[in-house]
Amino acid sequence: MCSALSRLVIERPGYSRPVFATPAPKAPSVTGGAPWLLTPGDRPGRPRLPVRRGIPGAVLFDRDGTLIHDVPYNGDPARVRLIPHARAAVDAVREWGVPVGVVTNQSGVARGLLTPGAVEAVRRRVEELLGPFDIWAVCPHGPADGCGCRKPAPGLIHAACAALGTAPHRAVVLGDIGADLAAARAAGAQGVLVPNEVTRPEEIADATRTAPDLLTAVRGLPTRAGGAP
């Protein structure tokens, strides 16, 4: 009989690290651990532009409230709905040849409200709607777990940039709340706030850069040498 841990993670073709199976039990422990990193393995890649000054080294998107509508502790792929312009925004970055990633807090795992398999099922649905991302960095910890990856800590951004082979100061983080921008600042990355109905006025006032929607935020990023991200 398989142990709980062996049922928890499986090797999925196309990924270089273990990813979580859709039917999976609650993780044995997430306290104080590292983020989950899901990276493409032998999946055919797209051509990338050579690294040039002024071009972002990576664009990292928050998930809930930025790419998809925020459904608290959602583990149901059927409830995934895209934010307007999300597909156009992600595709615009891909057209530059810049890596795209997702950095997301999923404390529902630590709280016992989500299984790793549910997080993986939602990830698969997001990629069905938006296409494949170059990296997913997921924090499964709760606020009291003492990890260094839960936003506003910078760990997710550091981990995603390391996996993509780019320096954090060359990354751009797009999010909808102050914790996203605080994580970007702590990592040395640029942050752009795309407010929605849950964004607090003080978060908007504190943001260095804001945009009315995700596509406008992406179109405002530098795409030519000589720009300054």
How do residues 69-90 score in pLDDT, each as one tens digit? Answer: 999 999 999 999 999 999 999 9
Confidence check: pLDDT of 39 > 90? no
Contact 80, 126 (CB under 8 A): yes
> CA angle, corner 140, sides to 100 and 78, nearest 5?
70
14-42 average pLDDT score: 50
DSSP one-letter string for 23-71: S-PPPS--TT-PPEEE-B-SSPPPP-PPP-TTS-SEEEE-SBTTTB---
**Per-residue confidence (pLDDT) for residue 33, from 0 to 100:** 77
**Per-residue confidence (pLDDT) for residue 52, from 0 to 100:** 57
The band of 222, judged by pLDDT with boundaries at 50, 70 and 90, is confident
**Per-residue confidence (pLDDT) for residue 50, from 0 to 100:** 52
Cβ neighbours of residue 85 closer than 8 Å, sequence gap 6 or more: 213, 214, 215, 216
Spatial separation of the C-alpha atoms in residues 188 and 161, rounded to whole Å: 11
What is the residue-averaged pLDDT of the chain?
A: 83
**Per-residue confidence (pLDDT) for residue 41, from 0 to 100:** 52
Confidence check: pLDDT of 11 > 70? no
Active site residues: 62, 64
Confidence check: pLDDT of 153 > 90? yes
pLDDT tens across 89-141, in order?
A: 999 999 999 999 999 999 999 999 999 999 999 999 999 999 999 999 999 99
Helix axes 178-187, 155-164, angle to 10 degrees: 60
**Per-residue confidence (pLDDT) for residue 38, from 0 to 100:** 86
